[in-house]
Chain A
C-alpha cells in the first residue's frame, strides 16, 4: 500500500537549515505523481510549502521561495525539503503528501514536528 514517511531532526536552532526527507513506498515517484510539502504551526491551519515533479520541476510558496529548496531522488524513491535561515515562525508539523495532478493530496505522511529553538 502507499505510504509516505517524513524524517529529519525534530529540533533546529534559529538561523540554521531545516532538512527533511519523505520516503515513499507502494508506488514509484517516477510514475507521474507530484510530491508536496505542507506544514501546520501548532494550533493553526495548513500552509502549502511547495511541490516537485519527478523531472525535478518545482513550485514554491512565494513567501518561502527565497529560503526553500525541494529536490527529488528517484533512485531512492524519496523527495526532500531544505529551508534555510529558520526562525521560531517555522516551528510546525511538516507533512509530505502525494499529489495527483499537483492539485490534490491523496496520501499523506503522519507528519513530523520540527521545533526551532536554541
Chain B
C-alpha cells in the first residue's frame, strides 16, 4: 500500500489559517469516511486531532477542522498559535482492512 500524499511543509503567521491536504485513492480516502489527523510535537507521541473526516475528540480546540472532497482530505487550522507548530499526519482506513498514513507535514508558525 502506498502512503497518502501530504505536502512536506506549510507555514503561516499567528492568527492566520492554514490547510494541509492529504491525497489518496478511491480505495482509501475516497472510499471511506475514516480519515484521521494527528499532531506530533518533537519526541512526543502523536495526538488525535480529527477522526472520521471531521469529528473533534473532546478537548481538541475548535480551531481544528477537517473535511474531504473526493480522494483528498484536508485539515484546517484557524487562528494559528505558536503551540500549533508541529508535524501533522493523516491516516485512512483502506479497502484491504488496513490503515495507511500520510508522509507527514511540518507546520511552521512564523
Contact = CB atoms under 8 A, between A and B. Distances in A.
B93 interface: yes
Interface residues of A, number: 24
Contacts of B93: 102-103
Contact of A104 (B34, B40, B103): B34
A35 interface: no
A106 B45 CA distance: 11
A12 B52 CA distance: 37
B102 A45 contact: yes
A83 B46 CA distance: 22
A62 B45 contact: no
Interface in B32-82: 34, 36, 38, 40, 45-48, 51-52, 57
A108 interface: yes
Interface in A28-84: 36, 38, 45-48, 51, 59-63
Contact of A46 (B51, B57, B104): B104
B104 to A, nearest CB: 4
Contacts of A36: 99
B48 A103 contact: no
A59 B48 contact: no
Contact of A105 (B36, B96, B104): B36
B38 A105 contact: yes
Nearest to B57: A106
A45 B3 contact: yes
Interface string A87-104: 000000001000011111
Closest 5 CB pairs between A and B? Answer: A104-B51, A45-B104, A108-B45, A104-B36, A103-B34
Interface of A: 36, 38, 45-48, 51, 59-63, 95, 100-106, 108-111
Given A38-B101, A60-B98, A102-B99, 7 more contacts: A46-B38, A48-B91, A62-B1, A62-B96, A102-B97, A105-B36, A110-B45
